[in-house]
Every structure is written in C-alpha cells, then in structure tokens.
Structure 1
C-alpha cells in the first residue's frame, strides 16, 4: 500500500509540474504494479495450501499411534473377557471361539499399523543418513538434518543459500542443493514442502513489502531450482513462507537471528498411503463379553 501511495504521489507531482513522463511510461509502471499484486496473491494462496498440507503431515504419525493404542486397549479388554469366561462356571453361555477370533483379528491389525510406522521410521532414518554422509564438513555447518515425529527436516542457512539480502539462489548453494535433490529423487514416494523463515528485522528491499514476501520468495526460488535445475517433479513440491513468525531462537542476539533466517526442506511420505491403511480398520470394534 505504501508503494502504491508513493507511486501515485510521484505521478501527481509529474502531472502538476508538466514533466515529460509519457502515458506509455505510466501504463508500463501501472502494469508492473498489477503484476506484482498478482504474484503476491499467488504466493499467498500457495502458502495457505502448504500450511494445510504440513498440518496433515504432522498429524499423520499421531493418528497411527492413536490407532495402535486403541487396538491395544481393545485386545486387553477382549483378553480380560476371555480370562473371565475361562474362569467362570457359565462358560457354556459364551462363544469362546468367536472371542478368540476377534482377538486375533485385532492383533493382526495392530501389527499392520506397527509395521507401517516402523517402515516409515526406517526409511526416514536411511534418508537422513544418506544425506548426512554426502555432505562435506563445510556443508554441515550450514545444513541441519533432523527427524521429528516421522518427518525429515533439512534446515539450510540463508548465508549459504541466497545472495545477501536477496531471494536469488547463490552460486555456492548449487553443490548442496544437488545432493538434496538426489535424495528427493531417490525417495519418489515422498512429498516435499519448502518453507522460508526470516528473523524479525524489517526488510527494506524494493518490491518486497515485508518478511512474509521475502520468506515466500525464497521458498519459491528453491522450488524452482529443484524443478528446473535438478528435474524434481513439480507435483511433489510445495512452496510456503512463514516470515518471522516461526522462530527457533531468540531474535535479541545476532546468533539467534542467524538461526531464524533459514529455509526448511520438509520431506514426508505421501499421506494417501497411510490414509488407505487406516481406512482398512474394522468398521466396528468387538465389545467385551458380558457375564
């Protein structure tokens, strides 16, 4: 808005002063401004989409664990009911064979969920180890790789990834991005969210209104580099910016600010695989037998 007001003020001065600014030049500037507005609106939509995708990804692991715990509780209840039946004088009134079948069915489903979770955790660990081993000691100073709740986070410092005060990818970032791109290509069943983050220092660059813009533009630059330079399928990529509102350190110190100026590459298994698995759960859980 500030940019728009300034532009109109300059235009008014030009008209009143009978300067030589032509109608063609005015239309060109106005078209550029409209293009910037459209670009910003597109980035905002992409950000909202990435936020929703990440929220679902983070809940995926929790959903699996809840399913496992629920099934374990059902098995315990069924086992208790079976034990009571076996110790009761009225065993003839209870279908013990059916109860045993229900316990075995629940046990099989629990094992299926456990195996899926273990497979996901194992693949994440292999992915992390492969990437970590490929990095040089110098690169490890600017790249942090972690696995949290079944999701792989690759955090890249801004001084390695971008030109100073810019969202353009620096030349020295190419080697590191190529290694990350290879890992992403090797694990084709994973989706990738690129998330830009900044410190709380206001941006003063031309055509960048605030840290929201900067973080989203930086994430978009990484996405486009992965697509155009390293041939990663763009259908697997999402770009989003979180501005200064997702800090991991105190912004009151230079060290904290440096930690907060980062771009995260978040790698998660495709959610439809786990949703299909959870959807195979029994429609009704067996109830304990009554005495």
Structure 2
C-alpha cells in the first residue's frame, strides 16, 4: 500500500510539473507579446511626446505671432483712425482755404469793378485826347500820368495854370471817392540840379509832389487825409536818359488813385469773419 501511495504521489507530482511548464511557456509567450506591445506603445508614446513638443512649440509661436498680430492690428487701427482723422482735417482745411480764396477773389473782383468804374469816370472827366495825359490801371490801381511840361516849367516846382485845369478834373473824381487815397508821385530825369532853393533831384521831386498836393487841397477842396506826396527823384526812369526826348518822358508826375489799404484789408477781414460764422 505504501508503494502504491508512493507511486500515486510521484505520478501526481509528475503531472503537476508538466502542467506548470505548459502554463509557464504560455505565460512566457504572453509576456513576450505584452513586452512587444509595451515596446511598441513606448515607441509610439515617445513619437507622440516628440510631436507634442514640436506642436507645443508651434502653438507657442502661433500664440506669440497671434498676439503680435493683434497688437499690430490695434496699432494699425489707431494709425488708420488717426490718418483718417488727419485726412478729414486736411480736407476741411482745404475746403476752408478754398472758401477763403473764393471770398478773397470776390473781394478783389469788387475792387476791380470799382477800379474799372473809376477809370471810366476819369477818362470821361479828364479826357484821353491829350498826349501829355495817360490814364491806365497798373497793379490794381488807377494811374494818371501827366507829362512834366504840362505841370511845371523847367527846374521849377510851381504848378502851371494849365495843370490846374487838369488837376481840377482829377479832384472832382477824388472828391467823389472819399474812401480812396490819392498819391502824387513826382519823377525827374537824371540831370543834376542845384541852386539856392533846390539841393538835388530828390528835393525837386518832393517839392513838385507837395506843390500839387497843396493845389488839390487848398484850391480844389480835396480832403488832405486822402493825399500822399511822394518824391521819386530820377531812380525809376521809363526809358534811358540818353536823349532830350527820353529825359522829357522820364520827367513826369503820376497821380495814383487807390482804395485805402486799411479799408481794403478790413473788407477782406469782414469777408473772412462772415465765412467763419457760416
């Protein structure tokens, strides 16, 4: 019996040992598969981690770039707004300047109209048939040029009777324009002059201008506030002083009739103020 039990025990041990080896082999196979799967998963994980790191860098770059773009966009928006505002201001300024220019042109047109009417009046009063009298418009003012031989004797500053007839016609027009000024501008030739009364051509031209101013004021009733005497000596000749005929042309007196400068600017300023109110 003991031998049988021993045999049974040995068979049982033997059978148990055989089952463990099969399971072990199976487990080892499973282990290898799992290890391979683990290795594959580890490789994939490492790849994913690498890709994640790369993507994280890209995301950071994109975030930074996006932030910069947003900042640039805000700055661009501000700049665009400022540029738009500046453009609008520039356009408004141009409009204002255009309106001011138009106002100024209107004022100048009015002045030119008055000047033209004045020329017509003077030509009608004084006449244009006399070759020693010339009436024209220069630089927006009316100029009456009277030859020296009609006004004075040679080297004299005493106004002739014939000149007083012409000056009476000029005075009539000046008196009808109390808001105008009348400048008497005397010119000589370049021949030197000096005597007990006159020092030089400056002296002669000034005395001739003041002589005509006195006639206009005292004899013809022109308001002295409108009168301006001016001696120009020989320094603004019409032609060269190389012949007696040319020197005679240069000896002349110009009577310049013009709106008072301050009144003219007042007129412009008034137009500007009217524009600003609008």
TM over 0.5: yes
Aligned length: 192
TM-score of the aligned structures, taking structure 2 as reference length = 0.62
Whole-angstrom distance in 1 between the partners of 2:111 and 2:120:
14
Deviations 1:2-35 (A, max 9, x none): xxxxxxxxxxxxxxxxxxxxxxxxxxxxxxxxxx
Whole-angstrom distance in 2 between the partners of 1:153 and 1:136:
14
Q: Residue 185 of structure 2 contacts residue 255 of structure 2 at CA under 8 Å; is this kept in 1?
A: yes
Counterpart residue number, 2:243: 253
CA RMSD of superposed structures (Å): 2.6
Alignment of 1:174-253 (within 5 A): 174-253=164-243
Counterpart residue number, 2:132: 142
Q: 1:163 deviation in Å?
A: 3.1
Q: 1:277 deviation in Å?
A: 4.8
Q: Residue 133 of structure 2 contacts residue 144 of structure 2 at CA under 8 Å; is this kept in 1?
A: yes
Alignment of 1:81-160 (within 5 A): 94=84, 104-136=95-127, 140-160=130-150
Counterpart residue number, 1:289: none
Q: 1:166 deviation in Å?
A: 1.1
Structure 1 counterpart SS, 2:146: strand
Q: Residue 128 of structure 2 contacts residue 135 of structure 2 at CA under 8 Å; is this kept in 1?
A: no
Counterpart residue number, 1:31: none
**Which has the larger Rg?**
2
Structure 2 counterpart SS, 1:249: coil
Whole-angstrom distance in 2 between the partners of 1:250 and 1:97:
57
Q: 1:275 deviation in Å?
A: 2.7
TM-score of the aligned structures, taking structure 1 as reference length = 0.59
Q: Are residues 276 and 263 of structure 1, via their aligned partners in 2, closer, same or farther at CA, if it must alter by over 3 Å? A: same
Counterpart residue number, 1:33: none
Structure 1 counterpart SS, 2:240: coil
Q: 1:134 deviation in Å?
A: 2.4
Deviations 1:32-83 (A, max 9, x none): xxxxxxxxxxxxxxxxxxxxxxxxxxxxxxxxxxxxxxxxxxxxxxxxxxxx
Deviations 1:182-205 (A, max 9, x none): 111112211111111100112244
Alignment of 1:38-117 (within 5 A): 94=84, 104-117=95-108
Structure 2 counterpart SS, 1:192: strand
